[in-house]
Amino acid sequence: MALLPILTYPDPRLREKAAPVTVFDAALQQLVDDMAETMYAAPGVGLAANQIGVLSRIFIIDIAGEGEPSDLKVFVNPELIETTGLQTYEEGCLSFPGASEDIKRAAEVTVRAQNAKGEFFELQADGLLAVAIQHENDHIDGVLMIDKVNPMVRRKISRQVQRAAHSA
């Protein structure tokens, strides 16, 4: 496994839409393993492939709390098939170090995806898992959390990211 560099805003590659995965092989499993190691080291609860410069429709999520066993979920070629309700959640992002903001998203989602072996599954989620699924799904569509806020908050987030970059 390898730690991979995470792209940070305003890297233009974060705006690119990822392509569907068509080959489910050892290389894909290695990518998922490297993404997991990178996400845990960051530390974060989710990571999309395009955040590491790979334009494939893949993201991973693990919302297990401190002291809980890992619960890594792999989503390949995900589709949000249903969203209901509304919630506001304070979100951060590994591509926006030092920034967090309240973002409005659906309260519940149903997602259809494949795992790293190509097997299809459906998952219904609420709370943090629903937020993370929507956040990471946005990434593979080239949509960023900064796109979900008003211009004043957008400037604030940009300043937070610049401060974090200068202090790193």
* Sign of the alpha-carbon dihedral angle for 125, 20, 34, 42: negative
Say which amino acid occupies 132.
A
Q: Which residues, in sequence order, are bridge partners of residue 58? A: 76
> Burial level of 58, CB count in 10 A (0-12/13-18/19+)?
buried
Minimal CA–CA distance to 109: which of 69, 75, 154, 142? 75
Question: Is the bond preceding 12 in cis, omega lying within 30 degrees of 0?
Answer: no
3-state SS assignment for residue 4: coil
122 catalytically annotated: no
Q: Which of 66, 91, 122, 136 is catalytic?
A: 136
> Can you list the positions of beta strands (E) in 69-157?
73-84, 87-92, 100-105, 108-114, 120-126
> CA-to-CA distance for 22 and 98, rounded, in angstroms?
35
Residues belonging to the active site: 136
